[in-house]
Structure 1
Amino acid sequence: MFEGKEIGFASAGTRGSVALADAMVMPLRQTAIRSWVDWISEMDLVPDLGEDIGSIRWFRGLGTLTALSVFALALLPDFGPVYGAQPPIPTEAEFEEARAQMIMPIAYGSDSGKRMASTDAVVALAGSPERPRIELTATLGRGDSFSRVLQRAGVGGSEASDVTSMVSAVTSLSGIEPGTPIDIILGKRTSKNQARPIESVAFRARFDLNLAVNRVGNALQLSRKPIFVDTTPLRVRGTVGESLYRSARAAGAPASAIQDYLKVISGRTSLSSIRSGDEFDIIVDYKRAETGEVKVGGLLYAGVDRDGKSAIQMLKWTMGDNSQWFEASGVGESKGALSRPVNGAVTSGFGMRRHPILGYARMHSGLDFKASYGMPIYAVTDGTVAYVGRKGGYGNFVQINHGGGLASGYGHMSRFAVSSGTRVRRGQIIGYVGSTGLSTGPHLHYELYRGGRAVNPMSVKFTQRAQLAGSDLTRFKGRLANLKSVKAGAALAPLKPTGRVIEEPKREIDRLSQNSDGRPPRG
């Protein structure tokens, strides 16, 4: 008990000693702080530098400013780059492991996981196995050879030659259109040093014919698969509205056929002369295969009807190797500067000659054409009839002014087909051959005037006009009647079934794309 009291007294004494010491030291501390502040104030280290410039007090302030500036600059941070350690480049295995956890695998089919090494169960093959068959499609290019296409596809040279010979015996190889796909199936070969044998080759040789070459046993056999084709021409008729072109397009005529139609009609009459209410008549070559394909050909017939009558009827007709447009009368189309006035040879030229009737030399100011009595005489080009009647030794005479100072004259006619003041077009019949006036027999005397003076007609090249006659004219008129008997829109009627067995498609996509009747959809 007494020990505890002693301890308590000791603790209280210690606290008292510390308080006594602080009380004794505090005045000293306060005196030291006051002395330091007073000294700084007396030193006047930060005077106003705007006063007493050049004095000791001013230089003392300048020194303070300099010291503080140097201290501030010393504490200025460094704005240079901070260099760090470059991470190591990951190995291929590390990259694959990290890639499996990124979005990148989505672009690779969502593959993921680590790469696994092969085990002992994996045995390397001595050689790659041969595919039992190869199915491919080759395309015949423009100017390409059918045999070369087969060889590029992997067919051996001897078999390519055999297939080419079999196909050429059935159809012309040049008739196979560029872009035709050729389906080829090659079988298994016995050695890698040999070409694969042909199992089958199938393609469309013509619009109406499919060909297939198949291997039967050890030999190749050709099979023909005809395609029914409706060749009814496409006839489009309608009434001309504000525009002939737009009216024909609205009626369903192909754009290319309308362009050809306008060219043909403009060669016979001015397009501006075709009025609203006139009827256009267009017949186009048109073919439809029972497999659904359509092939639009060229223009066959061009006509214009006015007031219910056919004012213009032009039919495309082939003579020899040339095709040209003929009128319904069988007169061919004229091209060039001037057409021939008759279809006959020149028997007497331009210049001085001995007149066969008068018996003395005189100027022959034109050309004599050999022609039979009654043959039609045509206007050499468009113009206006200036004179029709009797004219001295010329007999029955017609003169036509063509404009630009050019005119033409026709003599010794038997009768006229025009009257004075009428407008004629090139190739129009203006009269008929005769032997009136000073003439020894039926022929045509033709003259050409420039500025009122006769010039040599041979200075202008004539275009030979074709005139159908005999059996050619009969066939021509039969063809014209056959085309005009086609009803408008008859080519668009549904095809009649032929009883043809449609082959089962080999591919699923082909089966899905067929119609319910087994035919491909028409696009």
Structure 2
Amino acid sequence: MSYGGTSGTATLSLTDAIVAPLRDGDTLPWRDRWQATIHSLDLVPDLGCDIGSRSWWRGFATLGVLILSAAATFPGMGALPGASGPMLDANDWEMARAQAIMPLAYGGDTGLHMAATDSVQPLAASPERPHIELTATLGQGDGFERVLLRSGVGEGDAATIANLVASAMPLGDLEAGTQLNLKLGRRMDKALARPVDALALRARFDLRLEIERVDGALTLHRIPIAVDTTPLRIRGRVGDSLYRSARAAGAPAKAIEAYLKVLATQLSVGRDIGADDQFDIIIDYRRAETGEAEAGKLIYAGLDRASGKDLRMLAWTQGGRQQWFEASGVGQSRQGMSAPVHGRLSSHFGMRRHPILGYVRMHSGNDYGAAYGSPIFAVTDGRVDYAGRKGGYGNYVRIQHGGGLGSGYGHMSRIAVRSGASVKRGQVIGYVGNSGLSTGPHLHFEIYRNGRPVDPSSVRYVTRAQLEGSALAAFRAKLNTVTRVAPGAALAPMHIAKAANTAPPSEADRLPG
């Protein structure tokens, strides 16, 4: 509200309008006085102003009340109560699983009857189908016998069929996605499961199994499937892109990726391969007489270069480890040498004052400080030339690596190899100790070139496997066999004489139903 006067216009608040008469000595009713007091009371003042005043303490009290109220109503951090009860039994689990949506390749078994509602009127009698044909799929992690039971096969027939199939191959070898073609016959009573009249499945790429009921007994028939294992060879010009050209020629993507990795171990794929070079890829390949085909792993990687040395690499297993070898029998190289022990370098190669003898002399290796008993590793492949006690070295091992190079390991607490033994890179040959002339647990590591010690930090090993003798002859024979395969030979029409599969079943293949 406002009022006019000689000094201008002023604004009067509602609180001032109520309180003003009191200042002039007038009185107001108690209700008006109470409202005026409430309107003038500020419970939430700015606590950053007038610190220590009455209004500030009033706001601080309001803040305390709010904090205490929040704490009093805090629900706590305990676990929420949940309903407890028994887990699903077998029947409830099967019914719940039937309602799930799953791919057939993973064992989807939708289609079980749901519980009837009040609108369903049961029939007094219904016609019985003479037989039912259906297809069941073995899911990942599923059980063979469980698939049969889920498909309506009785427990007796399911156990018998499982035993028959197990006599032909382990049930665990059946792959996920295997389809079972079932034919269920007529039953004498609706309360009973239908008997199995026939079952067929592709057990392996080269084997089909058929089971039929003959004179009341289930009989197994093994039907071999002829398979052509001619490798698939794909050749072509590199052009603008090796990957796109190989894909256009029909090579699988995974085989091309493996091929490029093999090439990368011998040359630079982006710099050393020209557009006029010819790629040569050979992979494992299987074709069944029924028309199915499977492409396997890369077994040969070749590159016919327009300029430069041609590349011919064959996958070969040597010493229990598969690697790629060149046509000359030389395997892949491994660069550098591994650390002889997990520890810190405490003393370098060169002249130094001996900590025990007290005079300056040549320190012929590097010292690595490590905890007592820490394992010591061979830096690369080789043969143990010496293992035993050796003067100031204490327990000592010397390894010859070929090409005039050798390594020595001293002050061991215990030796883990014998003289004459072959060792691999990273193999434990002993343990850190304090034997010989030593002031504490550490490894004295040396590198020899033609019998003379050299600075270990100046040596970088390059190890390459080399086939010799009978192993080299077998490798070259396999290489010649593989490279004689003509490009596209694996895709030629199959000419296989089918053998009759009419032999009577053996007693092991005939079990009562």
Q: 1:470 to 1:199 in 2, by over 3 A?
A: farther
Q: 1:157 to 1:463 in 2, by over 3 A?
A: farther
RMSD: 4.2
Counterpart in the other structure of 1:202: 200
Counterpart in the other structure of 1:99: none
Counterpart in the other structure of 1:412: 404
For the 8 Å contact 1:135–1:186, the answer to whether it is kept is yes
Alpha-carbon distance in structure 2 between the residues aligned to 1:210 and 1:340: 52
Alpha-carbon distance in structure 1 between the residues aligned to 2:131 and 2:494: 39
Amino acid at match of 2:266: R
Counterparts in 2 of 1:378-457, with a 5 A limit? 412=404, 437-439=450-452, 447-449=456-458
Alpha-carbon distance in structure 1 between the residues aligned to 2:285 and 2:380: 43
Q: CA deviation at 1:371?
A: 4.4
For the 8 Å contact 2:325–2:331, the answer to whether it is kept is yes
Counterparts in 2 of 1:359-378, with a 5 A limit? 362-365=363-366, 371=382
For the 8 Å contact 1:284–1:298, the answer to whether it is kept is yes
Counterpart in the other structure of 1:303: 302
User: Which structure has the greater CA radius of gyration?
Assistant: 1
For the 8 Å contact 1:239–1:277, the answer to whether it is kept is yes
Amino acid at match of 2:128: E
What residue ranges of structure 1 are gaps of 5+ in the alignment? Answer: 1-123, 355-359, 374-408, 415-434, 504-523
Deviations 1:104-126 (A, max 9, x none): xxxxxxxxxxxxxxxxxxxx974
For the 8 Å contact 1:352–1:361, the answer to whether it is kept is no
2:325 corresponds to 1:326: yes
Counterpart in the other structure of 1:515: none
Alpha-carbon distance in structure 2 between the residues aligned to 1:147 and 1:446: 68
Q: CA deviation at 1:319?
A: 5.8
For the 8 Å contact 1:314–1:327, the answer to whether it is kept is yes
What TM-score does the superposition give when structure 2 sets the normalisation length? 0.50
Q: CA deviation at 1:200?
A: 0.9
Amino acid at match of 1:159: D
For the 8 Å contact 2:364–2:455, the answer to whether it is kept is no
- Choose which of 146, 150, 171 in structure 2 pairs with 1:173: 171
Q: CA deviation at 1:325?
A: 3.2
Alpha-carbon distance in structure 1 between the residues aligned to 2:261 and 2:319: 23
Alpha-carbon distance in structure 1 between the residues aligned to 2:275 and 2:322: 32
Amino acid at match of 1:498: A
Amino acid at match of 1:209: L
Deviations 1:27-64 (A, max 9, x none): xxxxxxxxxxxxxxxxxxxxxxxxxxxxxxxxxxxxxx
Q: 1:352 to 1:325 in 2, by over 3 A?
A: same
Q: CA deviation at 1:466?
A: 5.7
**How many residue pairs end up in the alignment?**
301
Counterpart in the other structure of 2:134: 136
Deviations 1:443-484 (A, max 9, x none): xx78334xxxx8xx8xxxx99976555554443333222111
Secondary structure, in 3 states, of the residue corresponding to 2:187?
coil
Alpha-carbon distance in structure 1 between the residues aligned to 2:152 and 2:463: 55
For the 8 Å contact 1:412–1:439, the answer to whether it is kept is no
Counterpart in the other structure of 1:258: 256
Counterpart in the other structure of 1:229: 227
Deviations 1:223-280 (A, max 9, x none): 0111111111110112221211122223232223212211221232210211122221
Counterparts in 2 of 1:112-151, with a 5 A limit? 126-151=124-149
Q: Which moved more, 1:185-194 or 1:363-372?
A: 363-372
Q: CA deviation at 1:292?
A: 1.5
2:186 corresponds to 1:188: yes
Alpha-carbon distance in structure 1 between the residues aligned to 2:285 and 2:455: 45
Counterpart in the other structure of 2:494: 495
Amino acid at match of 2:404: H
Alpha-carbon distance in structure 1 between the residues aligned to 2:293 and 2:167: 27
Secondary structure, in 3 states, of the residue corresponding to 1:479?
helix
Q: 1:327 to 1:167 in 2, by over 3 A?
A: farther
Alpha-carbon distance in structure 2 between the residues aligned to 1:308 and 1:233: 28
Alpha-carbon distance in structure 1 between the residues aligned to 2:318 and 2:405: 30
What TM-score does the superposition give when structure 1 sets the normalisation length? 0.49
Alpha-carbon distance in structure 1 between the residues aligned to 2:493 and 2:206: 18
Secondary structure, in 3 states, of the residue corresponding to 1:448?
helix
Q: 1:316 to 1:148 in 2, by over 3 A?
A: farther
Q: CA deviation at 1:321?
A: 7.2
More RCO (CA 8 Å, sep 6+): 2
For the 8 Å contact 1:339–1:463, the answer to whether it is kept is yes
Counterpart in the other structure of 1:317: 316
Alpha-carbon distance in structure 2 between the residues aligned to 1:259 and 1:291: 30
What residue ranges of structure 2 are gaps of 5+ in the alignment? Answer: 1-121, 351-360, 368-377, 385-400, 407-447, 503-513
Alpha-carbon distance in structure 1 between the residues aligned to 2:228 and 2:309: 28
Secondary structure, in 3 states, of the residue corresponding to 1:317?
strand
Alpha-carbon distance in structure 2 between the residues aligned to 1:290 and 1:183: 20
- Choose which of 239, 242, 253 in structure 1 pairs with 2:237: 239
Alpha-carbon distance in structure 2 between the residues aligned to 1:277 and 1:353: 51
Amino acid at match of 1:286: Y
For the 8 Å contact 2:274–2:306, the answer to whether it is kept is no
Alpha-carbon distance in structure 2 between the residues aligned to 1:319 and 1:188: 59
Q: 1:502 to 1:289 in 2, by over 3 A?
A: farther
Secondary structure, in 3 states, of the residue corresponding to 2:261?
helix
Alpha-carbon distance in structure 2 between the residues aligned to 1:370 and 1:253: 37
Counterpart in the other structure of 1:283: 282
